[in-house]
Structure 1
Amino acid sequence: MRSLKYLFIAFFIIFSTLPTHEAEAAEEYTSMKVKLENFLGNQTSVTLTATGDYQTSDKEVFIKAGEELTVKVESGKLVVYKNSQKKGIFASIMVTPVKQDSLLSINNRPYPGSLEFTVDGSFIRPINHVYIEDYLKGVVPREMPALWHIEAVKAQAIAARTYALRYQSKVINDTVSYQVYGGADGHSHSNLAVEQTTGMVIKHEGKLIEALFSSSNGGMTELNSNVWTSGEPLAYLSIKEDSYDPKLKWMIALDKKQIDLTNLDVSKPEDWWTSVQEEDKTIIPNLKNWLQNNGYVKKDIKITEIPVLTLTDKTSGGRVTKGSIQMNFYVKDLTDDKGKLVMQNVTLTNVEASKIRAMVGLGNMKSYLVDNTTSTDPAKIKIDGFGYGHGVGLSQYGAKHRAEAGQTYQGILEFYYPNTSIVREYSNAAAGSETDPVVNKDITAPRITSVKAKEDYLNSKVNFTYAIDEDATVSLTIKDKNSKVIATPISRKSMKKGSQVAAWNTKAVSNGNYTAEITATDRDGNKGTVTQAFKVNKDITAPNITSIDTSGNYSTEKASITYTISEAAKVTVQVKNNKGKVIATPTDTKSLKKGSQSATWNFKNVSNGTYTVTITAKDASNNQRTVSKKISIKKTTGKVTASVLNIREKTNTSSKIVGKLKKNQTVTILAQQGDWYKIKNGSQIGYVSKKYVTK
């Protein structure tokens, strides 16, 4: 099993320039030429074994099934040995399988197709002439984990095929400079994705697109011309948010001071050089390697300080384009005439961000989508970012999550390469045989979008809404948590392009998790499918009514009724007397939202006594709850003893008279202020002398 680290590094392709070759539909899509460098390395001797016979161009047998040969470079030539016996000397040699399904292994790694062996400097350099579909079977599982959702792997296969066909006329290699190719060491799951998309490519205005992809775009796709400034913006590569990309987070944290020189004698480096190391063990080795490749070849270096490491000048897609770095360091043998180490300095200001990324390491600065380059600690450098790779075109992690959410490969590719179409350039053909061109046949399945499921508790059903982008035959099935089909609300119904609705009756099912699967098949047999997870949660719980409080204001003769409801509901608030008769309705069946609510009761015309406030709340499922609370009304009254009593505006005898009372008249006493009562007489409120009113 490959290590996770290996797979992750292989996820994205580093492009230094954009290709210009256009593969035309009339070409025969038979083979690719791939120089084997990545897994083979630079070898002066290789071992060959085969599962079938291979012959040279003049039909001579080169190697038989089960046989083992050794090929060596000797005096600039290829020398072939069987055991220790020399079998031939060649400047180069092409070998082809007698049977197309044979495999030739080079140092135990099998390859399909024909192999051309050449001398590259002092090394053996095989070139694999391989049928393009077999090539893709060796590429796809190295660019994306083979066991990811099949729709994501199909999207990767089509993007990889489109990318490869732009290079069909060139000899490419098997490294990340193009696409990582591992020969016949593929995987059945990714092989299936390749086979099910045979010949499918992505085109814009009839031409193969630049099918760029990276591991993770960090939640925002990028424009090609923002990454490769020499290229023109392409209509099918744009900047937009990608909600399905998981925003892989990365961080660079680095101490500015790497070596404390306080107690080190730079006149005697031999006393401490080997025992003192830099604080950082991740980025510093990369910076040292860069220094050794840029003027300090094979030098022993100690980086003492990184005073500056910044990334700036963001594109419209939020990615940095420039950066600056400063490194202070000692080189062991660079001293003055007294043997004292001389501090060295390299400062790069406002250089391309790609240069800074190469210096610190692609695995440390995983992308150019930088969120923050500041640190609250002035002694430290902190850079936060998202994503892995350039962010242009397909996001592999985004494709994974889209597929898991029910999107097809067509929908995935349409999001990452808008304004394009998927066409089949050729049909399935055996390796090495004539292909059957099928130029520009539309194989795009109907797109099913805007899928929503909303439960109608009151009517015991779930309503579905969705849209299809072409006329199609549609089926809607409902599956339970065990993926068993329990209902088919729509069965092969012809529907027109546009918005659609459907409903499923939930009376006979229990609460739980369900999945709706919508399938649309067009007249050419292309089928698109989406799934929508939803819950059935029949509401049988009435709203809770809590925090009930009632308080009266005798000045206004109004009572405030406050309460809280646990869900949206239709609410009625009533006041009843001691005989149960409704005497007031402060809230008359009003739709209210969840949360705190209030009502007001005017008790001006009621007598003292105990009353009952009832609050009734009914939710959308007709679940109803009623609660009650007692409220006492006790108005204080007094009788006038004076023949005529003036009602004053304020509590003094010089205040304005606002009314008059007669002897034995009863008034409501609202409050006492010193020698005065605040009273209410009908609608009139004012102050009277306390000595002329008895309670």
Structure 2
Amino acid sequence: MEGASYERETLKKFSLLLTILLLWPLPAFSQAAPLFVRIGLVEHAGRVSFGCSVPARVLDSRGKEVCRVAPLECWQIEDKRGKATLFDPKKKLFTAAFPLTLKPVISSQGIPLIFLAGKWYRGEGEFRPGLLVINRLPIDEYLYGVVPSEMPASWPIESLKAQAIAARTYAIANLGLFARQGFDLRPTIDNQVYGGAQNERIPSNQAVDSTRGEVVTYNGRVIRAYYHSCAGGYTESSETVWGKAIPYLQAVPDFDQEAPRYLWQKTFSKEALSSLLGMGSVREILPLQRGYSGRISHLKVVGSTEKTMTGEQFRKATGLFSTLFNVQSDLNAFTFSGRGFGHGLGLSQWGAKALGEKGYLYPQILRHYYPTASLDRLAAPGS
């Protein structure tokens, strides 16, 4: 839990971003019904700070007002035996039943922002038993916080556009992924990194706006547009990674030689590796099958017991950057020499950068990394 004094200081320091966003012109798009997404920001929190850049109201599930929040006030909320307890800056207490919604009062004075657990966001806040904190907002406003978190805004605009469309497509395809918990996606590498309003940058916002409503489809359906940092020279097919052939996730050449993780090496002591894998003293690691790019689809770990694993299972257990590696051992350690960062499926971000620098347009970039797929526009833009 972050202290209230820290939260108040963060509120003050954020005035510059507020000024920038207030000056940011609202895009002149048609008023089609927006597509919303719920992001599970914090799960099972003890106490969370919240606030708003403009006047706001906290509403219960029936739309009844619980309290009002003045601009830039730092409030606290916690779950006390299943009931919401809220504290204003003067420690005045309010109680209500979950769920609750933090709703900015709409005005013509620029873009309202909400403050949740140390960061600023567009849209609304939701509080559910737990304490679960959710950010609900239109999907393209969500992308404003995703694109610069996933790809530097200084990269070529066509690369940013390709990233925006891949991120939009991924989000739409995964709506309801965590429906049982009450939200759609997490703001981490488990899904897509989402940094909120304070991560926004003008070039990446422009990439989102200029591709509004565009998604990648296959046979008329939005695809699961996976992407990763760099492929190490070649992406991989879904059949190698998951054991299931998906036509638009094929192995294709990559152009990511400038990536920091294009080449990498990592060494583990035998004791450390045995601990990570949860088995007795590891003596040998034997690749059993490789995919088109050279990524390991299955391997055998030999020690006091034997274990056969998929390459992805091994990567996640050990924290290796990819499954595209060779391994050498001596008496005390295993050394992994590899290429690439991530699962290797779909769009390579560093490869997209290189293609953008060479003058390729975003439809060409997407067509390269998602062969057999199509670039389409949603009937009702997700804005």
TM-score normalised over the length of structure 2: 0.79
Tell me the amino acid that sits aligned with residue 106 of structure 1.
L
Q: Please list, as runs of the form range in 1=range in 2, the aligned pairs for 1:417-428 lying within 5 A after superposition.
A: 417-425=370-378
Paired residues of 2:300 and 2:309 also in contact (CA < 8 A): yes
CA deviation after TM superposition for structure 1 residue 314, in Å: 0.9
Partner of 1:34: 39
- Quote how far apart the aligned CAs of 1:66 are: 2.7
* Structure-2 change in CA distance of 1:29 and 1:428 (3 Å): closer
What's the Cα RMSD here? 2.7
Question: Secondary structure of the equivalent of 1:241?
Answer: coil
Residue in 2 that maps onto 1:354: 312
In structure 1, the residue matched to 2:235 is 221
> In the alignment, which residue of structure 1 is the partner of 2:141?
134
Q: Comparing both structures, which one devotes a greater share of its residues to strand?
A: 1
Aligned counterpart, 2:126: 116
- Any stretches of 5+ residues in structure 2 without a counterpart? 1-31
Deviation at 1:42, TM superposition (A): 4.4
Contact 1:236 1:420 in 2 (8 A): yes
One of 377, 388, 404 as aligned partner of 2:341: 388
Aligned partner letter, 1:350:
T
- Per-residue displacement from partner, 1:355-401 (whole Å, max 9, x unpaired)? 3223322xxx211122x3346x6775333211111111100010011
Alpha-carbon offset, residue 34 of structure 1: 1.3
1:51 alignment counterpart: 53
Q: Which amino acid aligns with 1:237?
A: L
Count the aligned residue pairs. 335
Q: Distance in 2 between matches of 1:235 and 1:249?
A: 28
**Residue in structure 2 matched with residue 151 of structure 1 by the alignment:** 158
Question: Secondary structure of the equivalent of 1:156?
Answer: helix
Distance, in Å, in 1 between the alignment partners of 2:335 and 2:118 is: 45
Residue 93 of structure 1 deviates from its aligned partner by 0.8
> Does the 8 Å contact 2:231/2:256 carry over to 1?
no
Q: Quick check: 1:103 aligned with 2:120?
A: no
Counterpart Cα distance in 2 of 1:113 and 1:379 = 53
Aligned partners of 1:234, 1:106: CA distance in 2, in Å?
Answer: 38
How far apart are the structure 1 equivalents of 2:340 and 2:210?
30
Describe the shift of the 1:176–1:378 C-alpha distance in structure 2 as closer, same or farther (beyond 3 A).
same
In structure 1, the residue matched to 2:201 is: 187
Task: Classify 1:119/1:255 alpha carbon distance in 2 versus 1 (closer, same or farther; 3 Å).
Answer: closer
8 Å Cα contact 1:287-1:360 kept in structure 2: no
Instruction: Compute the TM-score of the two structures, normalised by the length of structure 1.
Output: 0.45
1:78 maps to which of 84, 90, 105: 84
SS in 2 for 1:36: strand
**Equivalents in 2 of 1:61, 1:187: separation in Å?**
33
Check the 8 A contact 1:33/1:130 in 2, yes or no: yes
Give secondary structure in 1 for the equivalent of 2:129.
Answer: strand
Amino acid at match of 2:170: Y
Q: Equivalent of 1:288, from 275, 294, 298?
A: 275
Q: Which residue of 2 aligns with 1:324?
A: 300
Please report how far the alpha carbon of residue 36 of structure 1 lies from its aligned counterpart in structure 2 after TM superposition: 1.0
* Contact 2:252–2:368 (8 Å) recurs in 1: no
Q: Does the Cα contact within 8 Å between 1:218 and 1:388 map onto a contact in 2?
A: yes
Map of 1:117-516 to 2, 5 A cutoff?
117-120=127-130, 124-169=131-176, 170=179, 171=183, 172-185=185-198, 186-229=200-243, 231=244, 233-244=245-256, 246=258, 248-254=262-268, 284=272, 287-288=274-275, 291=278, 306-326=282-302, 345=304, 347-361=305-319, 365-370=320-325, 372-374=326-328, 381-425=334-378
Q: Share of identical aligned residues, percent?
A: 30
Contact 2:52 2:104 in 1 (8 A): no
Give secondary structure in 1 for the equivalent of 2:76: strand
- Distance apart, 1:163 and its partner CA: 0.7
Report which structure shows greater RCO (CA 8 Å, sep ≥6): 2
Task: Quote the Cα distance in structure 2 between the aligned partners of 1:404 and 1:225.
Answer: 31
Is contact 1:202–1:209 with CA below 8 Å preserved after alignment?
yes
Which amino acid is 1:174 matched to?
P
Corresponding letter in the other structure for 2:371:
P
**How far 1:133 moved relative to its partner?**
0.7
Name the structure with the higher helix share. 2
2:283 counterpart SS class: strand
SS in 2 for 1:135: helix
Instruction: Spell out, residue by residue over 1:265-301, the C-alpha distance to the aligned partner (whole angstroms, 9 max, x if none).
Output: xxxxxxxxxxxxxxxxxxx2x653554xx8xxxxxxx
Is 1:66–2:109 an aligned residue pair?
A: no
Question: d(CA) in 1 for partners of 2:307 and 2:277?
Answer: 16
Could you say what secondary structure the match of 1:145 adopts? coil
Instruction: Say if 1:151 and 1:407, in contact at 8 Å, map to a contact too.
Output: yes
In 2, are the aligned partners of 1:216 and 1:246 still within 8 Å (CA)? no
Once the two structures are superposed, residues 133-155 of structure 1 have per-residue CA deviations (whole angstroms, 9 ceiling, x without a partner) of 11111111222222222111111
CA contact (8 A) 2:312 2:343 kept: no
Is there any run of 5+ residues in structure 1 with no aligned partner, and where?
Answer: 1-26, 259-283, 295-302, 328-344, 432-695
- Please tell me whether the aligned partners of residues 33 and 380 of structure 2 are also in contact (alpha carbons under 8 angstroms): no
**CA separation in 2, counterparts of 1:176 and 1:379?**
33
2:321 maps to a residue whose letter is K
Report the structure number with the largest CA radius of gyration.
Answer: 1
| Structure 2 residue identity aligned to 1:241 | P
**Do the aligned residues in 1 keep the contact of 2:51 with 2:116 (CA within 8 Å)?**
yes
Deviations 1:414-469 (A, max 9, x none): 1111222222225778x6xxxxxxxxxxxxxxxxxxxxxxxxxxxxxxxxxxxxxx
Structure-2 separation of matches of 1:244 and 1:97: 43
Distance 1:428 1:243, change over 3 A: closer
Matches within 5 A, 1:554-569: none
Instruction: Give per-residue Cα distances to partners, 1:206-248, cap 9 Å, x unaligned.
Output: 211221111111111211122112x3x2222212322455470
Judged with a 3 Å threshold, the aligned counterparts in structure 2 of structure 1 residues 415 and 245 are, in CA distance, closer, same or farther, namely farther
**Residues 217 and 245 of structure 1 are in contact (CA less than 8 Å); yes or no, is this contact kept in structure 2?**
no
